[in-house]
Structure formats: structure tokens, C-alpha cells
């Protein structure tokens, strides 16, 4: 590790922080320290960081905007890579939107609407980055990333640069090939369609209003905690099981939306995990359905 640190400092790949608490990098405001946190300034920095990590065989984790992720209280050993300002961009080429990995997925939907392009309205309330949205095949309102995905430039864990198209991504419900083949999205392109700006704005506003009315987005949450089972909704099952308002430590099942767990201010990752386990066992006892987590649990246990 010392040899890696020395070469990392010499490489000048952006900001490098040691023993950095991750509470400020996740929307749940939960998480222990990362041994090393790298914030690459550019595409080249990101690629070179992955190649250096591979060279020294150091364990690493990719962190986007920190939504849909639970970092353990003990933190993450090895390196955490967080695509930074140099990958926070968008450009439009005809009906294509091309965005860097760290660009806000919500902002992307807004900017597309301003360009008179339709297809991204569903993203109006999805927190997280473009890279995270591709990784998770993020979706809402009957649509998801796979329906508009054109291609993504990805650096694999070996340092190889690839461009993946829809058939390469193996998209399914909240899943992509990146769950099995480790890599970091550098940028992604989405194929949209010309539309009426007023209609796009109206639809976007209705989705946003619905989310604000039904989800506790102003609080420390990570998005939906469990995947929806086939032909049903996790929130309905949790609510029907009488779990709204139930808490363990500082973790609380939202009264507003049962598939959200709120950090009330002092929650630990262990509180959240205990509450998730309680939800799963209660729902399974009541309905015979095992809820599958949608959030990613990372770090040392």
C-alpha cells in the first residue's frame, strides 16, 4: 500500500484524501471513513487512477453521488473513487444527450426538457449521478435508462477503455452488466426525441410534484430501499405489514413512503441494516414475499 500511495501522490490525479469520513458523500449521511478517497479532475485522471489501482492490486469502490448506497460504519478499506468536477458536464448533439458520469441525473432531465427533447422526464426525481443511473438502470413512471440508452464509455477494472452499447449492458430491472463486470462509467449518451417544450415541462412538473408529495426527499434518505416484487409494490407490502413509523436507533420507516428509511439524525449503518432485516422478516411472515434490497451495502462489516 505504501508503494501505491507514493506513486499516487506523484501521479497527481486530482484531490486525494486519507481516512476521509463518507457521511458527507452519501445522501443517507451515513458511513465510516475511506482509507483513500480519490476525486479525479478529468477523464484522463479517472482512467489513470483505475490503471494505477490495478497495477498495485488495491481493493477499490466506485462512489457516485452517494444515493442508493449504504456505507458501513467501519468504512471502506482500500480506495474509493468518486468521479468529480471534470466529469460534471452535458452536451447535446441533435437528439442525443451526452453527459459525464458525475452529472446530476435530475439536472440532465431538466436540461433535456429545455432543449425540447423528450424521453428523460422519468428522471426528474431520481437522485444520483448519470454514472450511477447507468449502473443501476435507474427508472420510474414506467420507464428506465435502458429505454433511452445509446452507449457508455467505461474504464474496466483492468484499466481497459471500452464503449458499451445497449446489447452489451445486459439491462434488467435495476441491473446492468456492471454489477458483474467491475468498471466506472466515464460518460453516457442517451437517444431522445424532439418534443413540445410545454408538454415536456408540464409532465416533468407533474412527476416532480408527485414525488415531493409522496416521498421524503427533503430528509436524509437513499431512495427506495427494496425492489418492487413482480406485480406488486414494496411500499404497499411494508405499509400493509404495519411498519410505517417503526424505528430502530436513528433509522425510521418513513410515514410518507414506506419504502424509504430516514436517518433521523443519529442513525448508524447498523441501525439501517437491522431495520431492513426487520422489514424483510415481517413482510415475509405476513405475505410470504422476501423483499430484495435495492440499495447497495458496501464497506467493512
Distances (CA, A) of 196 to 112, 114, 116, 117: 12, 10, 6, 8
Q: Is 51 exposed, middle or buried (0-12, 13-18, 19+ CB in 10 A)?
A: middle
Q: What is the pLDDT of residues 29-73, one digit of tens each?
A: 999 999 999 999 999 999 999 999 999 999 999 998 898 899 999
Average pLDDT over residues 244-257: 97
Whether residues 148 and 246 share a domain: the answer is no
Whether residues 157 and 241 share a domain: the answer is no
Final residue in a domain of this structure, among 188, 213, 238: 213
Distances (CA, A) of 104 to 30, 33, 184, 191, 254: 20, 24, 16, 17, 25
Q: What is the pLDDT of residues 151-193, one digit of tens each?
A: 999 999 999 999 999 999 999 999 999 999 999 999 999 999 9
Task: Print the domain residue range for 70.
Answer: 2-85
Q: Verify whether residue 170 is a known catalytic residue.
A: no
Please state, as a whole number, how many other Cβ atoms lie within 10 Å of the Cβ of residue 15.
14
Catalytic residue among 176, 224, 254, 267: 224
Catalytic residue among 20, 121, 187, 294: 294
Cite the DSSP H helix spans in the chain. Answer: 2-11, 43-56, 105-114, 130-136, 166-169, 197-214, 234-240, 269-287
Q: Verify whether residue 115 is a known catalytic residue.
A: no
Final residue in a domain of this structure, among 27, 60, 85: 85
Whether residues 207 and 95 share a domain: the answer is yes
Whether residues 101 and 158 share a domain: the answer is yes
Q: How far apart are CA 3 and CA 77, in angstroms?
A: 16
**How many separate domains does the chain show?**
3
Q: How far apart are CA 79 and CA 52, in angstroms?
A: 11
Catalytic residue among 65, 102, 174, 176: 174
Please tell me the predicted confidence (pLDDT) of residue 202: 86
Whether residues 228 and 196 share a domain: the answer is no
Residue 6 pLDDT level (bands cut at 50, 70, 90): very high
CATH number, domain of 99, equals 3.30.465.10
Q: How far apart are CA 189 and CA 150, in angstroms?
A: 5
Whether residues 43 and 116 share a domain: the answer is no
Final residue in a domain of this structure, among 155, 185, 213: 213
According to DSSP, residue 168 is labeled: H
Q: Verify whether residue 20 is a known catalytic residue.
A: no
Give the rounded percent of residues in the chain with a pLDDT score beyond 90. Answer: 82
Give the pairing type, strands 76-81 and 33-39: parallel
CATH number, domain of 291, equals 3.90.78.10
Amino acid at each position: 500500500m505504501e508503494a501505491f500511495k507514493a506513486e499516487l501522490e506523484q501521479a497527481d490525479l486530482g484531490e486525494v484524501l486519507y481516512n476521509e469520513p463518507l457521511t458527507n458523500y452519501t445522501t443517507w449521511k451515513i458511513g465510516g471513513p475511506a482509507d483513500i478517497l480519490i476525486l479525479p479532475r478529468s477523464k484522463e485522471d479517472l482512467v489513470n487512477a483505475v490503471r494505477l489501482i490495478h497495477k498495485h492490486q488495491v481493493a477499490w469502490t466506485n462512489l457516485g453521488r452517494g444515493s442508493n448506497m449504504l456505507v458501513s460504519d467501519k468504512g471502506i478499506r482500500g480506495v474509493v473513487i468518486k468521479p468529480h468536477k471534470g466529469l460534471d458536464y452535458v452536451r447535446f448533439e441533435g437528439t442525443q444527450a451526452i453527459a459525464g458520469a458525475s452529472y446530476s441525473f435530475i439536472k440532465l432531465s431538466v436540461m433535456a426538457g429545455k432543449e425540447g427533447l423528450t424521453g428523460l422526464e422519468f428522471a426528474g426525481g431520481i437522485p444520483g449521478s448519470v454514472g450511477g443511473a447507468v449502473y443501476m438502470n435507474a427508472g420510474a413512471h414506467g420507464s428506465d435508462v435502458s429505454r433511452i440508452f445509446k452507449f457508455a464509455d467505461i474504464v474496466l477494472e483492468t484499466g481497459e477503455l471500452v464503449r458499451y452499447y445497449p446489447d452489451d449492458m445486459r439491462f434488467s430491472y435495476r441491473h446492468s452488466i456492471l454489477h458483474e463486470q467491475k468498471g466506472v462509467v466515464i460518460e453516457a449518451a442517451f437517444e431522445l426525441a424532439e418534443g413540445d417544450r410545454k408538454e415536456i415541462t408540464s409532465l416533468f412538473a407533474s412527476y416532480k410534484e408527485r414525488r415531493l408529495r409522496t416521498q421524503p426527499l427533503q430528509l436524509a434518505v437513499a431512495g427506495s430501499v427494496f425492489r418492487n416484487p413482480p406485480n406488486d409494490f414494496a411500499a404497499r407490502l411494508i405499509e400493509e405489514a404495519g411498519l410505517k413509523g417503526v424505528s430502530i436507533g436513528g433509522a425510521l420507516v418513513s410515514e410518507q413512503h414506506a419504502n424509504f428509511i430516514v436517518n433521523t439524525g443519529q442513525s448508524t449503518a447498523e441501525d439501517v441494516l437491522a431495520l431492513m432485516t426487520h422489514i424483510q422478516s415481517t413482510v415475509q411472515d405476513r405475505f410470504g414475499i422476501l423483499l430484495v434490497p435495492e440499495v447497495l451495502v458496501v464497506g467493512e462489516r
